[in-house]
A and B are shown apart, each in its own frame.
Chain A
Amino acid sequence: MASGAVSGFEEVEPFEEGFSKHYDAHLRPHVSSFEERRIAALKKASRRARVGIPLLTVASPLLLIALIIAVPDDDGGLMGAVAILIGLGYWYISQPIRKYKQNIKGDIFPNILNFLGDFKYNPECGKRVSTLEPSGLVPSHDKEASEDEIIGTYKDVEIDFFETELKRRRRDSKDRTSYSTVFDGVFITLSMNKNFSGHTMVRRDAGAIGNWFKDKFSKLERVELEDPIFEKKFQVYSSDQVEARYLLTTSFMERLLDLGDAFDSKKLECSFYENRLLIKIDVTENLFEPGSIFEPEDFIDDAKTVLADMHQIFRVIDTLKLDQNIKL
């Protein structure tokens, strides 16, 4: 599709205001080149699929039969071998599509983010959570897959965002290893408008028994706050009772409740430490992902996705009013 045939960006949401000009200046010029790449990627993937799928359809049962004959008393390992074969086949067939999407994220997403200010975007950020361990919010895990790191400033509040999936290793009675997800969501680190030196955590309510265990085994002391609604949804622990109340003013508690309403308080926890605020939100949806490869490329879906996802991050700052240096 030629770039001339691409319709412009339609501003629907308030946070999209002014983007159509940015789209025309910074994204539209890349449309035709990426459309060519999209078609090439699809062609390559379909060529591989035409060969790979029939091959897998024939090879998988044959491999399974061969393995059953070779290892008659197997207890599940054969199915694993077949699954690996199918996985490898899928990886090989979809590789051109993945590469194309990586190019969109690497080349186009930064152009979209430029509209919002000076943001650094890194689609493959490697391991990140170890730096957040002192917050107390990182669950015990053995595997980490982090992506979509965004670092920048909004209304003078420093933002460090990334998505992550953490998995813990398990061994069953037959000594087989499997991994289960212990956290899938985002970590947002924000600079704070208050100075503090202690450590305060706002954890989701874990029920009477869960809270009792947390109280008993937490290194931090339980902080009982005045707001009964807040106390019902969250449990606060801190190294400093006064500082916890300095940070969690009645108005800040209200704002955290608002944030809980926006993201579901069962999925939200935060930690004030090292003079910053870390927010952990369970998000099952994969954020910052390009649109479908089967649609003609115009970057409009990509832009709408990135702007909407960034709006969610900004909403955290706006809801908590972290930009207001009111000292109260």
Chain B
Amino acid sequence: MSVMGWVAIALVAVVVVFYGWYVSIIKRRNKAQEALSGIDVQLQKRSNLIPNILKIAKKFMEHESALLTQVTELRTKAGADYDSSNPEEVKAHLGAAKELSGVMGRLMVAVEAYPELKSNETMIQAQQTYNEVEAQIAAARRFYNSAVSTLNNAVQIFPGNVIAGMAGVAAMPFYEADEAARAPVDAGDFL
């Protein structure tokens, strides 16, 4: 075979490898975006639940008005539209969701200080549903982080970074758990 023939074979091989790599990066990006939409489904469930919790809480928690206002504001912020293909917007969206988790966690702890509210049947049910939704969010977050980890490895390691740059695919942010949720519980706080 002539030199030109070998060069042609090599070029075809490069194109095939390049295309395969490109397909794999796009698949991983789509997977990460699918996982992100999974998180949004759960966040929406939580968002729908919050007004009911606030409605009950307002009846009993007169001294926590600042906290309740903060929950309302963060709920609006977390529910704002964003571009799922823009990593910065995704980061801001997940950051707001994380903040809302933290404030809701504080609200749930504050409920403990109001025995009437704590034993209210509607509140108990709302808390159980809330815990359930939080568990679903945690599961969706783990799937998202797993998909993002795979994507980021693909787009940050050579030659994936070159192909990703040409395809316009960027690394995506992780959805980190709320710091308060990860902190060890101090039993003294509840005594």
Contact = CB atoms under 8 A, between A and B. Distances in A.
Contacts, number: 36
A154 to B, nearest CB: 23
B38 interface: yes
A245 B131 contact: no
Contact of B128 (A225, A226, A327): A327
Interface in A228-271: 241-246, 249
A290 B131 CA distance: 47
Nearest to A246: B139
A243 B139 contact: yes
A225 B139 CA distance: 11
Given A242-B38, A327-B128, A226 B135 contact: no
A266 B139 CA distance: 27
B152 to A, nearest CB: 14
9 contacts: A226-B142, A242-B35, A242-B139, A242-B140, A245-B143, A246-B138, A246-B139, A327-B132, A328-B131
B136 A242 contact: yes
B146 interface: yes
A224 interface: yes
A327 B136 CA distance: 10
Given A241-B38, A249-B135, 14 more contacts: A225-B142, A225-B146, A226-B142, A241-B143, A242-B42, A242-B140, A243-B139, A245-B139, A246-B135, A246-B136, A249-B138, A249-B139, A327-B131, A327-B135
Contacts of B35: 241-242
Contacts of B140: 242, 245
Contacts of A245: 138-140, 142-143
B136 A328 contact: no
Contacts of A242: 35, 38, 42, 136, 139-140, 143
Nearest to B129: A327
Contacts of B132: 327
Contacts of B136: 242, 246
B32 to A, nearest CB: 12
A122 B132 CA distance: 38
B182 to A, nearest CB: 12
Most buried by A among B35, B128, B132, B135: B135
Contacts of A328: 131, 134-135
Nearest to A250: B142
A242 B143 CA distance: 6
Contacts of B128: 327
A224 B135 contact: no
A126 to B, nearest CB: 39
Interface in A311-328: 327-328
Nearest to A195: B132
Interface in B28-87: 35, 38, 42
B150 to A, nearest CB: 8
A328 B133 CA distance: 10
A244 to B, nearest CB: 8
Contacts of A226: 142, 146
Contacts of A249: 135, 138-139
Nearest to B131: A327
Contacts of A327: 128, 131-132, 135
Contacts of B38: 241-242
Nearest to A247: B139
Nearest to A248: B139
B127 to A, nearest CB: 10
A31 B148 CA distance: 67
Nearest to B132: A327
Top-3 shortest CB links A-B:
A246-B139, A245-B139, A245-B142
A244 B136 CA distance: 10
A328 to B, nearest CB: 5
Contacts of B42: 242
A59 to B, nearest CB: 68
Most buried by B among A225, A241, A243: A241
A244 B142 CA distance: 10
A224 B146 contact: yes
A54 to B, nearest CB: 70
A226 B35 CA distance: 16
Interface in B100-142: 128, 131-132, 134-136, 138-140, 142
